Amino acid sequence: MEVPPGPSFRVTGIRPWSSENRDAAPQDMQAFFVGQTVTPDDLRALAVSFGAEVESMVEGAARHQATIRYNGHHYDLDLEPAPSA
């Protein structure tokens, strides 16, 4: 029996934590993540392939977000639910 995939999300933006004292995420990181449609497991694998790590995900009624750590810095990925296939 096949296990159905989890919910899918589209990465719509990425920004550093305010405590990081950075104006924006690196361009290569933005180009790599923004626009991707992923499940939570896919996002973890995608982050690892970039050399980052997913630290947390929030799936709520008001917002969807993931936090990744890359080179010792934290970034929030803005997510929106993707339509089911």
Give the domain range for residue 54: 9-81
Specify if 49 maps to a domain: yes
Query: Which residue(s) pair with 16 in the sheet?
Result: 75
Specify if 2 maps to a domain: no
Specify if 1 maps to a domain: no
| 21 DSSP 8-state letter | -
Q: Model confidence at 85, in pLDDT bands (50, 70, 90)?
A: low
pLDDT computed for residue 5 by the predictor = 60
DSSP alpha helices (H): ranges in the chain?
Answer: 27-33, 40-50
Predicted structure pTM score:
0.85
For 24-67, write each residue's pLDDT tens digit.
999 999 999 999 999 999 999 999 999 999 999 887 767 789 99
pLDDT computed for residue 3 by the predictor = 46
pLDDT computed for residue 42 by the predictor = 93
Specify if 65 maps to a domain: yes
In total, how many domains does the chain have?
Answer: 1
Whole-angstrom Cα distance, residue 42 to residue 24? 24
> Are residues 7 and 81 in contact, defined by beta-carbon separation less than 8 angstroms?
yes
Query: Which residue(s) pair with 40 in the sheet?
Result: none
Radius of gyration of the chain (CA): 13
